[in-house]
Structure 1
């Protein structure tokens, strides 16, 4: 016999509010919920596991990804849901490789090339954006925040960036997900400019630790997601 749970019971189990559970239901992240004659919700085991999966996934993935995956599972589009999760883990691995690559770049005294592109003291915003793998608009925003500076080409008035500013841009693009506050980022950039590389390396090591932690949380989320998907496989059998 399938157990019936009240919203309060599940909320206490997951340490969330009943409002949060209703929000997940309103967003269509869980199976349709049957009601009693008095219109009370009757959550069953599949709903409990759906809530558990959502909470676990949110620790390792961004909200839009989790919501997309849960809606697909509900619609029994399980394979595509898992491919989305697979892509996210691939992106995490790419980010880890990027952090490691930039750490090596910072340690490299010879910085005449980066990703097979020539590095000079008169690079355009398009060139530094290509090297850093970001949009020019991001660079303009960081300049407005006072994180980087540029000079102006006397002939055409366009922005010109030096090697040091390129290093800063690459560092910002690599650590922006782990260094949240502008003041902290400014201090980190100052450490790099004044060649206090031990402080900079600590920030990169912290970034790698965070990515390792995120990977663990992603796998824990996948474990709960597969338990949830098993309910649909049992119905299909």
Structure 2
């Protein structure tokens, strides 16, 4: 049985590292060139000699790619290899914060879908006759819409600037005109604002609502969205473990 020291000092060829992950030896060399792997020493003949440090770095990098994407993974590994762990952790924090924002947005979209399912208001073109829920049968001015949902006209203008509402303009006057779908969007926005959601979340919600053929189609896409968020969260856990291994490799302190 090999001693612990012998295992720690084991050397790797580029092909050894590549084989473990099903990538090419050129990819391993490119990762070193790009700084996501530490520089490897060379033999007198010019061949690269990798160590357990490089094996851990490659495992960490590929796990980080799955969790945070190529750009963030590269930033994290280059910072770690430069000894700037704080910058690496800050990049990870940003990615986790984005995942949390995505989850909150998904919750907001699901809340909006629930409202649509209850009211039965379809997306798309305005119905030929006023629906039973009291939707207007003609476009509303900003003052009428503000009065209808209990906000100030300035609030509707702010929502428009944030992308929450997209009203048309009258061909003669240039004044804002809110169609039946715009009224629906304004009422959903008002509901979600009362629920504490930020305007950027609400704008994402309403883009989803407008893009869907109706609540049923949107429900199906939300299920896939939630699965992808869960997969990303699990990938982040794996990446954290791989990065922790890289920061405490078996062949001694980094650097």
Q: Which residue of 2 aligns with 1:39?
A: 46
Quote the offset at 1:204 in angstroms: 1.1
1:84-233 correspondence to structure 2 within 5 Å: 84-108=91-115, 109=119, 118=151, 127-130=159-162, 132=164, 151-154=168-171, 155-156=173-174, 162-163=182-183, 173=204, 189-192=211-214, 197-231=215-249
- Give 1:119 deviation, angstroms: 9.7
What are the ranges of 5 or more consecutive residues in structure 1 without an aligned counterpart? 133-138, 140-148, 177-184
State whether residues 185 and 206 of structure 2, in contact with CA within 8 Å, keep that contact through their aligned partners in structure 1. Answer: no
User: Do the aligned partners of 2:112 and 2:205 also contact (CA within 8 Å) in 1?
Assistant: no
Check the 8 A contact 1:150/1:159 in 2, yes or no.
yes
CA distance in 2, matches of 1:175, 1:163: 12
Number of positions where the alignment pairs a residue of Structure 1 with one of Structure 2: 205
Alpha-carbon RMSD: 3.9
Residues 87/41 of structure 1: CA separation in 2 closer, same or farther (3 Å cut): same
Larger Cα-atom Rg: 2
CA contact 1:57–1:218 (8 Å) conserved in 2: yes
SS in 1 for 2:253: helix
TM-score, scaled relative to structure 1: 0.71
Q: Please tell me whether residue 13 in structure 1 is matched to residue 53 in structure 2.
A: no
Give 3-state SS (helix, strand or coil) of 1:59's partner: helix
Is the contact between residue 212 and residue 218 of structure 2 (CA under 8 Å) also seen in structure 1?
Answer: no
| 1:115-173 C-alpha deviation (Å, 9 max, x unpaired) | x99599xx66x6335264xxxxxx9xxxxxxxxx8633433488977245677x97883
Within-5 A mapping of 1:49-60: 49-60=56-67
User: Does structure 1 conserve the Cα–Cα contact (< 8 Å) formed by 2:56 and 2:249?
Assistant: no
TM-score, L = length of structure 2: 0.66
Runs of 4+ in 1 over 6 A off after TM superposition: 110-113, 157-161, 169-172
